């Protein structure tokens, strides 16, 4: 008997009938005019997917503060995509952070992704809060709530934050962020869905009821993504690494493998009940557009 495609299998199941997946996307502020042109091209292609929101990252120590504000404001002004601006509290006083948040509100940006941020000395060094600043993401969320009625997302870590001493501390930190007023959590990238399911068991056991959206990283460039993963404590399974062996000079095959893996991961999450996804785009659209076509959600 002929096997139905993934999208047909989903539509055939009454539990999924009528459902529409929800997407959101993360972008980073482009550094050059050429990169900015590519950024807007990718954004407009992904806008056809009618995302819940698009988020714009905030460089270490606020290094991209002005570009983040400019890009997020322009997305808000020129598209129908709700925009979420990232904000961190590393190396800044409360007053400085509050002024940035107030600037978001003045620009019509009502969504934020509130993050503590990486240590100023880089990943692997000890985090030291600013003496006059927010000590952590939970304090930052509480501060944002005092400023205005923002929609707030925070980070979650399916494989535990590298600085957390144990799982209890990690889940307690997430709970404090949600209790401080966050609307949802978005996970760090992960490549083994079992890590997400185990994490969700811990989340539910802790009584956390806010949505925890899986963050999916399409593998546009294996070397780049594996380097990112290593720096943030995300494990790259051996079987996945082997899929990209000897593909450095085979971009078309690399892209086909990456698409297949992204589809497999998302379908696995869908079959477990997930209906919302956050994609780390690296300012590229191709793999996410291809994924949406396979899922049969929209015409692109």
**Stronger pLDDT, 244 or 294, i.e. the higher one:** 244
Locus of tokens 């929209």? 298
Q: Model confidence over 34-90: pLDDT tens digits?
A: 999 999 999 999 988 889 999 999 765 555 667 888 888 888 888 889 999 999 998
What is the C-alpha to C-alpha distance for residues 24 and 287, in angstroms, rounded to an integer? 14
Q: Which fold has domain 18-295?
A: TIM Barrel (3.20.20)
What is the C-alpha to C-alpha distance for residues 203 and 168, in angstroms, rounded to an integer? 10
What is the C-alpha to C-alpha distance for residues 202 and 164, in angstroms, rounded to an integer? 15
Q: What are phi and psi of 222, to 5 degrees?
A: -60, -45
- Of 87-101, 122-136, 225-239, minimum mean pLDDT range: 122-136
- Of 82-86, 117-121, 135-139, 222-226, minimum mean pLDDT range: 117-121
Catalytically active residues are: 26
In sequence order, the 6+-apart residues with CB closer than 8 A to the CB of 244 are 219, 222, 254, 257
pTM over 0.75: yes
pLDDT at 299 over 80: no
Q: Which of 289, 285, 292, 279 is nearest to 54 (CA)?
A: 279
Q: Model confidence over 210-268: pLDDT tens digits?
A: 999 999 999 999 999 999 898 888 999 999 999 999 998 899 999 999 999 999 999 99
Domain ranges in the chain?
18-295
Distances (CA, A) of 80 to 51, 53, 76, 133: 9, 9, 7, 34
């Amino acid at each position: 008997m002929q096997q139905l495609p993934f999208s047909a299998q989903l539509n055939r199941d009454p539990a999924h009938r009528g459902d529409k997946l929800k997407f959101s996307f993360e972008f980073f502020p482009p550094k050059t005019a050429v990169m900015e042109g590519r950024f807007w091209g990718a954004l407009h292609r992904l806008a056809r997917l009618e995302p819940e929101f698009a988020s714009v990252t905030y460089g270490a120590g606020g290094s991209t503060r002005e570009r983040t504000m400019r890009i997020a404001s322009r997305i808000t002004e020129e598209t129908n995509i709700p925009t979420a601006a990232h904000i961190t509290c590393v190396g800044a006083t409360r007053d400085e952070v509050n002024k940035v948040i107030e600037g978001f509100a003045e620009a019509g940006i009502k969504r934020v992704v509130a993050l503590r941020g990486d240590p100023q000395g880089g990943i692997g060094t000890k985090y030291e809060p600013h003496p006059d600043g927010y000590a952590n993401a939970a304090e930052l969320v509480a501060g944002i709530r005092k400023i205005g009625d923002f929609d707030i997302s925070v980070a979650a870590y399916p494989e535990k934050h590298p600085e957390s001493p144990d799982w209890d501390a990690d889940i307690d930190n997430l709970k404090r962020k949600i209790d401080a007023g966050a609307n949802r959590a978005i996970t760090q990238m992960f490549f083994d869905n079992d890590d997400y399911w185990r994490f969700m068991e811990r989340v539910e056991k802790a009584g956390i009821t806010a949505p925890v959206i899986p963050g999916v990283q399409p593998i546009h460039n294996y070397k780049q993504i594996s380097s990112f993963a290593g720096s943030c404590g995300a494990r790259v399974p051996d079987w996945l690494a082997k899929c990209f062996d000897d593909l450095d000079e085979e971009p078309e095959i690399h892209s086909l493998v990456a698409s297949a893996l992204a589809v497999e991961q998302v379908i696995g999450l869908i079959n477990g009940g997930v209906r919302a996804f956050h994609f780390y785009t690296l300012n590229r659209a191709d793999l996410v557009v291809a994924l949406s076509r396979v899922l049969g959600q929209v015409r692109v």
